[in-house]
Structure 1
Amino acid sequence: MLTMKGQWLAVPVAATVAFAVACSHPGAPPVGERKPGAITGASDDDQPLKIGVVTDIGRVDDRSFNQFAWEGAQQGAAAVGGEVSYLESGSRTDYEKHINAYVERDADVIVTVGFALGDATRAAAKDHPDTIFIGVDQNQTETLSNLAGLIIPADHSGFLAGALAGMITRSNTVAVVLGTDEIPPVVAFKEGWESGARYTNPQVQNLAKYHPGALNVVFNDPDWGAATAREFLDQGADVIFAAAGNTGNGALVALAEEGVYCVGVDADQWKTLPEARPCLVTSALRLIGPGVADLITAVHNGEFSGGNTIGTVGLAPFYDFDTLVTDQMRDTLDTVLTGLKDGSITTGYGS
């Protein structure tokens, strides 16, 4: 369900929103570790909760982070009988402008998507203590009662996918197509992926390439993604991961008919990018949508807390590649996921 930019959309409680949350390791809660000090939203009981979403640079239907957060906001609005709309950011200068636009329109909850919006979100939360903010992928080093950072560790997601790649590669060469190294979660994906591949295959060779362009280009350049994927093919890679928004989608589609394996990112790209199915073994999931929806529900229920909220990771189903992933491989992946959760396995990111 989509709405025109900036227009409030009432979402009935009975509405359903499609979510790519299927995971081959069920049982983990989508959101946890909220800090004490819960507060409630600004809406009166007889008024619907107004929820505004400010995207990172790119489109709301990017089949990646923006879209998953938007879908989560819709699901949250449906659960509480709220109203929801979005504003797309075309450049960094739009971040503050769009946040302020929602403040001026008396939004109760403002969801901002991506690490790059962190500074603008924190500043707005300090200036507007009666508005609740949800910062997706924004680590909070200072706790504000009206600001929650939804953190879903990219290095954990990358590590789990890399562990699978290390087991299914036939050439002992794997690769990753990346956005910019100016965004820490992108770096975390890379380092996690490479560490995971080495964990299950110490002989593996890791290839990686960041997009060299400006921030308004790096996640929306599918031609570059496709060209980079083909470079990796020429270097012998036979399992290729893409963590670069629409740029990464270009890589996956280019690999579809090349007889190699590919891995999607952030949600089940079997559903969001069917063109890539011929190579798509799975997707590295960061369950963004359910995390956003849970936080919106917490606002409505008076259970919202500031600080960081830790979401979960997993792998999407293997679909046509189900027989490729053996029971022994699945056991290893279960062990990896458990180790990432309890800290007995570390990714090396940031060390």
Structure 2
Amino acid sequence: MGQIAMVHTLTVVSHEDVDATGLSISDALRAVEDTYRMEAASGSIVPVKIEMHTGRDGAFKLAMPASIPGWRQSGMKWAAFFPGNSRWGVPDSHSVIILDDWDTGLPVAVVEGSLITNLRTAACAAVLAKFTVPRAPTTVTLVGAGMLARWTLRALVETFPAIETVRVVSRTAATRDRFCEEMREEVACELVPLGDAEQAVRGSQLIVSSTVPCPEPSLRSAWLDDDAVAVPIDGLYVWDDSLFATAGRFVTDHREFLAGQYDQRPDRIAWQDWEEIASILDGSSARQATGPTVALPTGKASIDVRLGWEVLARVAERTVPAAPLIEGRVHAH
């Protein structure tokens, strides 16, 4: 059989290139909901994240592959968290998204992932909230006032135009005051900095947390109203364990990820008993909450891959400069 020669070019898309595409929170919200709906209709292949600890305190790396047959898109996010990197002038968290050709499996692009990660994480929180809140919230609480909280606020006000008040609670007054001062230039709702977490949570219809790991839970489930929705972007460690007895509904976007993560104690529900957002979107699940709802985004790689392909398409359309890293010939038999 003859040989078919193919030229293989691997394109590198830098942070500046990604930023130049104009990828927005609106794009991310649409991509998240579209991906959830595609997964509900035809499925996806998203293995549980492979986590590797390096021996350095708190540092780890993640391999996050994903494949979406309905769009013939696949790839893998390679992410790392190395606390203390700032002393070398580099971010603690960083990632790249490797995109590969559907037919050959050859890598076609490496896309810098920091903006995509922030957009995806915030958008997942907003979309999960959209399909789990009993009514459009007017009062929202943000726990944490870092960069991710900024993207989360942008995602929430676009998803829920009825929001009137956003309470912002964080560990330091300077952080939450600066957050509110800066974000008042972007959003029309009232931003209220608070130092008391209980005051911030009680009476709020939607509570979204994005904090750094802490040794003790900072939020109490007893503060939640029965119709409140908690979206812990940072994982469930921020809430006390009684949340599992208090909440009446548990929703996530990747149940298998929860196996071994949140179901090891007898007072926690099994991962199989969590609802998947896909089952809500396709109508196969119609559970009613009998108490507060927990909606847990897991950082699903299928959405990183979807947004990575969106960026690559925009790079091609808008001729954003992107450096060819490897060019060679592959012979297929």
Q: TM-score, normalised by structure 2?
A: 0.38
In our comparison, the structure showing a higher alpha carbon Rg is 2
Q: Which has the higher helix share?
A: 1
Q: TM-score, normalised by structure 1?
A: 0.37
